[in-house]
Structure 1
Amino acid sequence: MTNFLPDKNQRIVVGISGGVDSSVAAYLLKNAGYDVHGVFMKNWEETFSPGYCTAEDDVCDAKDVCESIGIPLHTVNFSKEYEARVFSHFLTEYRAGRTPNPDVLCNREIKFSELAHFAKQLGSRYVATGHYCRRVNIGHDAALFRAYDTNKDQTYFLNAITQQQLQMALFPLGDMDKPQVRKMAAAADLITSDKKDSTGICFIGERNFKAFLRHYLPAQPGLIVTPSGEIVGEHDGLMYYTIGQRQGLGIGGLANYDDTPWFVSDKNLENNQLVVVQGTENPALYKSCLIAGQLNWLRKPAVDGMTLTAKTRYRQDDQPCTIRYLTNDKLSVRFDTPQRALTLGQYVVFYDQAECLGGGVIEETLVDDK
């Protein structure tokens, strides 16, 4: 399957983040003969955390890259849109005890919505990003395929975009691996060639997560208990913990227990209790089935009873599974092998070999659906 690029001499807008990937994406398109315009998006207005490195460094790097490549750079502020359509959802999910993935919503609501709209104003039909994945045309449809570099493949984060959005999307790095990208950036003397990859919350960056979340949501401390209800500690607030978490539980020195590590296995929202078990392979950490809703299919819906593979988190190996529709917008996913630490609010993303079909939000987990 060939990674799609349009005919030459067209205008293409590239989302320039100030990182190496988007820099090389713009560089490749410019060298290929396209009329490239860079756009730097500011999507977060800093309101606290004095001393935190803001987007100023990134926009300076973006300007330097665009000058080196010889393309114009536009700056836009989508902070209001981000707060209304991504961050508000982020807080709602944490308030409900779930663990959201804002990167997925960033792509659907900001990069391939607001940025795409801005691209049209600049006279471009296409938006290119530094994502590691491939857009392939199949008939009149666009399909999303894994990147050549499977270790960097980012199709997981694009599972919620629409077919219309995918029709506008270009992924110049789809046939490259990360070492090639850095080597090309260095050869082109781009300032971002050895810049560290960004981490943390989408468009917000690396934080002291507890302090950041506490600024927006009041903490509600409670008890840490075993599945039988025995109290083994106290938690700072259910929103700070995720299923499968080991670090930061503060459990130790209990008279009736050995030194086997503790892990979060569940959250009892009604009683504000964090449920924990001992042992990496404890059966309570594994579930065979999940219920997913808010389904999105990139090209065409998967067929009821279809055997596919799925990921329930980024970088996870593909897991064979069978899907069954419960409604048009909800299905059950039964895995061939029980899965560790399935987490409410995260996405389950489906694949048919190299093609990413789409995904849905994990709404419920079950030991077995039979």
Structure 2
Amino acid sequence: MPPSRTETRQPSLPGTKAATVLVPVLSVALLGVLLISVSIGAISVSALDALKIVTGHLLPGMPWMSDGSLTTMQDNAVWQFRLPRAALAALTGASLALAGALIQAVVHNPLAEPYILGVSAGAGVGAVSFIVLGLGISALGISASAFAGAMIATAAVYLLARKAGRIAPQRLILAGVALGALFSAITSYLTISTDAQNVYSIMFFLLGSVSAATMPQLLLPALALLTVAAFAMTHARQLNALLAGDDAARALGIDVNRLRTTTLIATALLTGAVVAVSGGIGFVGLVVPHVARIIVGSDHRRMLPVALLGGAVFLATCDLLARTLAAPSEIPLGVLTALVGAPFFLWLLRRERADRMGMNR
């Protein structure tokens, strides 16, 4: 007697259906948020006209770009200002969420986030030093200095976290927290010792903003995101094994120290690349990966795409709110993400503590 259909059906992994649905839904939501972002502003542009402008630049030769239906002001507003800003917000959100998911796997702690490495604080020292030394307020110069500071912080954390030739997760956390506090103290001293006219630029960078985004600025974070995302997806099974513990991963033939080192370097480079152009935006790398893990499970093959797209949608939406809620003034991105992330973090702490004490049974 041939087996029935129910007998031959393979059980699906928990979260597989949710991930299958969420990936296209989040992709459509991201496109929708980007379209809304490029159509809203002081210069009136409908969503359809904004879409025409973007496609006209991406696909030269479109008739509506030269028939007079779109003004030069509309074209410049969408292509030169709004689109780079919205795209950088999405890239930053995706990068921070991906970095958060990776660092949580590296340190075996779901409450970790990219800034635990002290990379953001190091970038802050680099950017503030550039401004305080009187080298100018050039966006390129500030970004380059911030990236250099982030890489110095990464090297310092890496050296301090090594024990007997291997990276110890607990030492990694302690080194990141200690260096982050040190770099923050240096930044505070430089801020209070500089001229008053520099304080606004310093604070806006430290609180995070993508308002000055340009098309060339998208290149570095885009390349970093593509590279690290490819690395993460090709090492998803090894990261899954790492979640089970170092001994279990070694039993499967995985070089734990090499995996942890390469993942740490990739995470630091990705974080440094986005912090250099977007400033200090916290809590994205904590909140988004954890929500993704709750919905689709801990399997990185499902969780990473959901976290990446979720981070892009989250920060692109926050940026849209940042420039519309208090218009014509603007709210720094770090303020909005903290308003969401801090209460969520406190809830997670209470939840984890309750779990350990057996109170959620």
Q: Give the structure with the higher percent strand.
A: 1
Give TM-score, length-normalised by structure 1.
0.25
Give TM-score, length-normalised by structure 2.
0.26
Q: Return the structure number with greater relative CO, CA threshold 8 A, min gap 6.
A: 2
